[in-house]
A and B are shown apart, each in its own frame.
Chain A
Amino acid sequence: AQSVSQHNHHVILSEAASLELGCNYSYGGTVNLFWYVQYPGQHLQLLLKYFSGDPLVKGIKGFEAEFIKSKFSFNLRKPSVQWSDTAEYFCAVLFGGSQGNLIFGKGTKLSVKP
């Protein structure tokens, strides 16, 4: 079955620390990859996405993610986090093109201490 794994349930960092959130997916042929963010009390928002081309993609608010096909991974990174990055982060994988289903990981809650 298609699945998406996020390695950390809850990550606590101090401001200015570097962030890396892991995401792995099961093999499923063609995939499109997404990171969504849910700030407290707000909509689920698209942070960044990868469809093809350069495997290092940049998103909003200084986030980036690297697609490593051989490892079935799409890890999210930010060099220096801010208190305002406190949120829940979801990795999602679209298996099989636009008509396929978007499978979400269980989410990683990030708490940034000021």
Chain B
Amino acid sequence: DGGITQSPKYLFRKEGQNVTLSCEQNLNHDAMYWYRQDPGQGLRLIYYSQIVNDFQKGDIAEGYSVSREKKESFPLTVTSAQKNPTAFYLCASRKGGTDTQYFGPGTRLTVL
């Protein structure tokens, strides 16, 4: 079954702990993205990667880190420096040379 998978669907962490969210795609897409969705705020770009071993900060990168060691994987780490980490996190990918991003099912992170 092709697509973008994010795991887990729900994640709970204690304040002060780092947590890594998984995003995998088997679509052979070149670019991958991480967004944060808050109620009434739409989606805001955290980090993106156009190719393997390269990534750029988005609009709200502070307190987050990413890696892109493999084309199919783009994990996001929410660090303890992120002031308000409780949110719904969406991963997306895009085939090179096209303009449309496709989204995964999301991970809802709750920091207690």
Binding site for B on A (CB under 8 A): 4, 6, 9, 32, 34, 36, 42-46, 49, 51, 90, 92, 94, 97-99, 101-102, 104-107
Provided the pairs A44-B90, A101-B48 are in contact, do residues A107 and B103 lie with their beta carbons within 8 angstroms? no
Asked if B58 contacts A101 (CB within 8 A), the reply is: yes
B window 37-96: CB within 8 A of A: 40-45, 48, 50, 58-59, 90, 94, 96
Provided the pairs A9-B40, A102-B45, A107-B42 are in contact, do residues A43 and B105 lie with their beta carbons within 8 angstroms? yes
Provided the pairs A98-B94, A98-B98 are in contact, do residues A90 and B105 lie with their beta carbons within 8 angstroms? no
Could you write out 10 A-B pairs with CB less than 8 Å apart? A9-B40, A43-B104, A43-B105, A45-B103, A49-B99, A92-B43, A97-B99, A98-B94, A98-B96, A104-B35
Which label, helix, strand, loop or mixed, suits the secondary structure of the B interface? Answer: loop
User: How far does the alpha carbon of A19 sit from the alpha carbon of B67 in the complex, in Å?
Assistant: 42
Asked if B103 contacts A43 (CB within 8 A), the reply is: yes
Find B42's partner among A45, A97, A98, A104 (CB 8 Å cutoff).
A104
Asked if A99 contacts B101 (CB within 8 A), the reply is: no
User: How far does the alpha carbon of A49 sit from the alpha carbon of B35 in the complex, in Å?
Assistant: 20
Chain B residue with Cβ nearest A105: B42
* Chain B contact patch, size range: 20 to 34
Asked if A98 contacts B97 (CB within 8 A), the reply is: yes
Find B99's partner among A4, A9, A98, A107 (CB 8 Å cutoff).
A98
Residues of the B chain whose Cβ atoms lie less than 8 Å from the Cβ of A43 = 103-106
Chain B residue with Cβ nearest A92: B43
**Among B35, B45, B96, B100, residue most surrounded by chain A Cβ atoms (within 10 Å):** B100
Provided the pairs A43-B103, A44-B103, A99-B50 are in contact, do residues A106 and B42 lie with their beta carbons within 8 angstroms? yes
Find B100's partner among A4, A34, A106 (CB 8 Å cutoff).
A34
Asked if A49 contacts B100 (CB within 8 A), the reply is: yes
Residues of the A chain whose Cβ atoms lie less than 8 Å from the Cβ of B44 = 104
Asked if A106 contacts B41 (CB within 8 A), the reply is: yes
User: How far does the alpha carbon of A83 sit from the alpha carbon of B39 in the complex, in Å?
Assistant: 22
Provided the pairs A43-B103, A44-B103 are in contact, do residues A107 and B40 lie with their beta carbons within 8 angstroms? yes
Find A46's partner among B35, B43, B97, B102 (CB 8 Å cutoff).
B102
